[in-house]
Structure 1
Amino acid sequence: MRDHADTEPGTPRLTKWLDGRLTRIGVTGVFPRDCLLAAALTVLTFVLLTALFWFVAPEDGVSFDRARAWLLVAICCAQAMLLCLRRVRPLLCLALVVGLQLPIIGFSLPEATIRGLAPFVVAYTVGSLLPVRRALLAVGAVVVVESIGAAVVVTPDLLTAIAYVSASALTYASATFVGGYVATYRRYVELVRVRADEAIREQRTKVQAAIGAERSRMARELHDVAAHHLSGMVVQAAAVERLIDRDPAAAKAGVAWIRSQGKETLDNLRLVVGVLRGRPGHEGGDGAAPVPGLGMLDDLVDTAGNLAGPVEFVREGEQREVPPIADVALYRIAQESLSNARQHAPGAAARVVLRFEPRSVSLEVVNEPVAPRRVPAARTGGVGLVGMRERAQLIGATFTAGPTAAGGWSVAATLPTNGPAATRSKEEAPA
């Protein structure tokens, strides 16, 4: 037997309203509410049968003597009172109701067999609470028992017995079917609700994951753009501070360079904001800015060489196109590597190697050890390395970073140009 809550999914509004009122007055649980239902149906049975025996039946030419009528009313009311067990003990309730139906058949007239409300209600309950097979077996047994009782008690006439059996089978079968249908509908509503809740939770999980991915993307872009230019501006500002008295012309040129770098930083930040807002086709300076890629490594190396120590750029192999997201990611890795070299090994020579092989594209940025007379900046929390590693993972590339045997620092990323990683990169949009 299924354990039903006070109010189930798919319950009609009237039932929900009644359940709410009963809960408000403290009537909770299955048995107390079924007791109230049994009491209400007992009163209704008494009223209906009284009207039937004293008003309706005489007009149709059917006459019940007073003792027989009151006895039938009493038995039918007793049937209704048994409905307090309909959900706590449905099979017992069904057996007791049918057991009382047999004397009702015996005291009824052949031309007017009486049936109260309880058989309909208990058959409905059995259909709604029990599995279909058990409900059909129980109702089938009830029909057989009641039919045998009718054949023995009421009349030996075959046609009358067949008519009564048909009416009994129709009564119990229809009520059981309705109960089963209602239970099935409630289970369906509950299943829909559960699936809807699961879909909502899954959607929320996807949204949170998308938000987290977008935050990481924004952090990478802002760090790559701002850190590269701003670190260079800080280094150049320190140089200007030292040159302002000794070489005003050089200091003035340094200030002009800082101004140009500030403008370039602002343009790049506008580009990042435009891309993150998803407005690739809008008109204006933001959308017209070029998307960085491996084709701009020459400019990146020239800028880094003019600002700090010498930077050498080596391109090996026949250059070919790579997926857009990989193009941007490898550029950003080179940009961040040079920025780190400028910050932690100022003045040290660096070398950028872009290698095109038949089955891969690799990028390596190596800087020499810092000169003894220079004091390298203390390493920070490694946000740049985290961002570079995330970019490499995003495009399916291998990433390594660490000190070299000579005391410098090396960053390398290798992207396979065939297989699942490359395929995934082609399907992505540029960051």
Structure 2
Amino acid sequence: MEPARGTGPEGRWAERLPSLGARGPLGRDVLLAVVLAALMVLVTAGTSALTPPQDRPPSTVEGWLLVLVAAQALALALRRVRLAACVAVVVATQVALVAVAPDVSVRSVAGFVAAGTIGTRLPAGRALRVAASVAVVEAVTTGAAAVLRGGGVDVVLQHAVSALLVWGLAVMVGIHLATRREHLRLVQDRADQLERERDARVRAAVADERARLARELHDVAAHHLSGMVVQAAAVEKLVGRDPDAARAGAAWLRDQGRETLDNLRQVVGLLRRDEGDALAPVPGVEALDDLVRTAGDLGDDVALTRTGTPVPLPPLADVSVYRVAQQALTNARQHAPGGPVRLTVTHEPGGVRLDVVNGPAARPASPARGEHGGTGLAVMRERAALVGGTLDAGPVPGGGWQVRLRVPVADDEGGRA
């Protein structure tokens, strides 16, 4: 989030100054010094004109006063590039003003601006020390100049107090402005950091949702469509020699297609979170019997064994076990067609274990056009990681393949998993 530009007096002046030739800190300070010099000359001349003739200083003194107030204001052009030189010129011209006319109290705004600059550009402690030193130097030198020109004690005190007030109060104002500016910068930096963190969280949430969508679509589509491909190949062979069996196979394909569409609608509905949609429950461990029965209808040699005492699983763990079993059956059908597949669900203390072991292929596997390989195994590992589980997959003796998933379950009922 960028700060708004052109808002407030500072923003408007920052946009207008370049058009006046004031570019960069030096250019802006030169413009400030020229404007202040012109104003101070006009104010000093106007004050002198309004003074009664008997109280007015000689014309030569008036000329020197105008020159000195102009020089003092012009010294502000160096306030951000040569601050020490600027302060030295301001103090020197103030001493000269007192020396020229000790009885005339002439004080331009240059001293206030220089003292404020010390407060904004130096650390607070150092700024106070520098301002105090400058005030003492000016008080002593102006007092000495007043004494040398015949001024009384009251005149000396007047210039000394003026120096202490100008440098003391103005530097405090400068420190306040610097502190406020730093606070606003920190607030802006914090706002920028919070916005970056928010954007990162949004991107992470979008990535997680995309990954979840990819897993669900892969599991649903790969399992159902692989079975439909197998059944379609069987129907193709039966069309000419066994029309009744071919019609039964086509009817199965129609029903399986409808089931696939329902599952895809379920996935999309879960992602959309439509309150009005009546969605079917997400399948879990209890639905493995239907999964095995459907695989048997396709001609696969699949068996399911359950051991241990079944306990309710958390929803995410429950669906993860089902999806891993579904994907393992799909992989076995694609890479080892006709081979026996054995599923074992073991409820053990602290977790649930799923073992899917398939034997070697009974017939050659059909080449999968456009298949890059490895996607199903990667999805299974992602599902295991989501529930804090582990998944191992690899060959077994005799040419088969095994997938083992273990999902931890919190012990919440007196030691029962």
Partner SS for 1:116? coil
Deviation string, structure 1 residues 206-231 (Cα, Å, up to 9, x no partner): 22221111111101000111111111
TM-score, normalising length from structure 2? Answer: 0.90
Q: Given that residues 354 and 362 in structure 1 are in contact (C-alpha distance below 8 angstroms), is that contact kept between their aligned partners in structure 2?
A: yes
Structure 1, unaligned runs of 5 or more: 1-7, 420-431
Q: How does 1:249-264 map to 2 (within 5 A)?
A: 249-264=244-259
Q: Of the candidates 202, 206, 209, which is equivalent to residue 211 of structure 1? A: 206
Aligned to 2:415: none
Corresponding residue to 1:323 among 288, 306, 314: 314
| Alignment correspondent of 1:272 | 267
Match runs of 1:122-141 below 5 Å: 122-141=114-133
Deviates more, 1:248-257 or 1:22-31: 22-31
Structure-to-structure mapping, 1:2-401, within 5 angstroms: 13-24=8-19, 26-55=21-50, 57-58=51-52, 62-110=55-103, 112-154=104-146, 161-279=156-274, 282-284=275-277, 287-371=278-362, 373-377=363-367, 380-401=372-393
Q: Which residue of 2 aligns with 1:5?
A: none
The AA in structure 1 aligned to 2:305 is V
Q: Give per-residue Cα distances to partners, 1:361-381, cap 9 Å, x unaligned.
A: 11111111111x433545742
2:414 aligns to what? none
Alpha carbons of structure 1 residues 380 and 409: separation in structure 2 relative to 1, 3 Å: farther
Distance, in Å, in 2 between the alignment partners of 1:159 and 1:43 is 31
Closer/same/farther in 2, CA of residues 224 and 187 from structure 1, 3 Å limit: same
CA shift for structure 1 position 401: 1.3
* Equivalent residues, number: 404
Change (3 A) 1:418 1:290: closer
Closer, same or farther: CA 129–53 of 1 in aligned 2, 3 Å: same
Q: Helix, strand or coil: the match of 1:99? A: helix
CA-CA distance at 1:19 after TM superposition? 3.1
Partner amino acid, structure 2, of 1:173:
G
Instruction: Show structure 2 runs of 5+ residues with no match.
Output: 412-417
Give yes or no for contact 2:350–2:410 (8 Å, CA) kept in 1: yes
| Counterparts in 2 of 1:9 and 1:290: CA distance versus 1, 3 Å | closer
Instruction: Tell me, in whole angstroms, the C-alpha distance in 2 between the residues paired with 1:158 and 1:73.
Output: 26
State the SS of the aligned residue for 1:245: coil
Deviation at 1:143, TM superposition (A): 1.1
Measured in 2, the distance between the counterparts of 1:243 and 1:375 equals 20
Q: Deviations over 1:157-194 (max 9, x none)?
A: 55654444333222222221222222222222222222
Offset, 1:296: 0.8
The answer to whether the Cα contact below 8 Å between 1:10 and 1:190 also exists between their aligned partners in 2 is: no
Conservation of the 8 A alpha-carbon contact between 1:9 and 1:186 = no
Local SS of the residue matching 1:246:
coil
Separation in 2, partners of 1:165, 1:121: 19
Give the Å deviation of 1:10.
9.5
* Gap change, CA 1:206 and 1:163, over 3 Å in 2: same
Preserved contact between residue 225 and residue 269 of structure 1 (Cα < 8 Å): yes
Note closer, same or farther for the CA distance 1:58–1:11 as it changes in structure 2 (3 Å cut): farther
Q: Distance in 1 between matches of 2:377 and 2:181?
A: 56
CA contact (8 A) 2:102 2:155 kept: no
CA distance in 1, matches of 2:156, 2:293: 107
Name the CA shift for 1:102/1:26 in 2 (closer, same or farther; >3 Å).
Answer: closer
* Percent identical: 44
Q: Tell me, what secondary structure is at the counterpart of 2:11?
A: helix
Work out the CA distance in 1 between the residues paired with 2:345 and 2:157. 96
Q: Is residue 404 of structure 2 the alignment partner of residue 409 of structure 1?
A: no
The answer as to whether partners of 2:6 and 2:15 remain within 8 angstroms in 1 is no
Bigger drift between 293-302 and 8-17 goes to 8-17
Q: What letter corresponds to residue 375 of structure 1 in structure 2?
A: A
C-alpha separation between the residues in 1 aligned to 2:33 and 2:234?
A: 96
The alpha-carbon distance between structure 1 residues 79 and 237, as it changes in their structure 2 partners (threshold 3 A), is same
Q: Contact between 2:120 and 2:177, CA under 8 Å: does it hold in 1?
A: yes
Secondary structure class of the residue paired with 2:39: helix
TM-score by length of 1: 0.88
